[in-house]
Structure 1
């Protein structure tokens, strides 16, 4: 599961958590911006940490058209040495920084998330960041004040289910509006004990009518 640094994910059983390098990189970018303007372009430690992250993203940029198997192999050869060097650098910096400083927070964040940050090496299908999922949740995160009116845990759960359906529909090339209309028409008369019938309504089902597709 691709995640950010939220500690709540740590309690999930039987799940491998894959950390987000965009979050790690952002910590060093913030540390660099916290410096006086005349020092930001110099060879300061915050810039060095940022450059380690940039190297990983540069490698990934070259792998976007590769197969998962090719990505896996190339990462072992090119990304892993960068990670090994970065970890050694982080451990050295740890003894030199104030933990609560902006730069210190960047160092401690990476060290605390390290097992998750290197998990992308395990499989070529995994990504370096979770930006894709963050882009998906952005529309309703912006409206977070509306969720004050969910009022109860059941209301919040209903909202989460609704948004999950909508975003999954988008990811599968569906028009959410027409897809929801189709669900509302079919679900009331569906035999919920028939798993095959329910499968035919899922966003990735090939039996959905053309009207549900995005180009319609």
Structure 2
């Protein structure tokens, strides 16, 4: 009986030693895990505060005052040089013109009066003086366009006269087929 008791006691002692070593290891592991968790908590709290600040700023931008007002103390940051220096002379006032000049009309004819005039007439050929309805076209009016032609040491006026045609039958029946505009 003694043997078995001694043997049982040795096993019990061995189990106690093993459990104490395991306990010491588990305490170290728990302390390491606790330190890691505390570090993770501090990192997460820093992230949380950053996100809360970003959210607050976005809400301020979104729902804040819509006018572009700045805090009065912030304006002094940029005026340091102006505050330190005192102006030697007052700034000159700018005068505004309160009247409007009228454009002078009719001077072109006076300026072109003494220049030689070259006239170019544009007529429709007799084949083209037929309306789309089949009736003949007659000369209704003229359109005049003037250009200034400058040749070195010589200036002249080129007058382009475009003859406008109409059909008497279409005029009487008030038919408008198309507009023929020949500008050369």
Indicate the structure with greater helix content.
Answer: 1
TM over 0.5: no
TM-score range, shorter chain: under 0.3
Greater C-alpha radius of gyration? 2
With the length of structure 1 as denominator, give the TM-score of the two structures.
0.16
Pick 1 or 2: higher relative contact order, CA cutoff 8 A, min separation 6: 1
With the length of structure 2 as denominator, give the TM-score of the two structures.
0.19
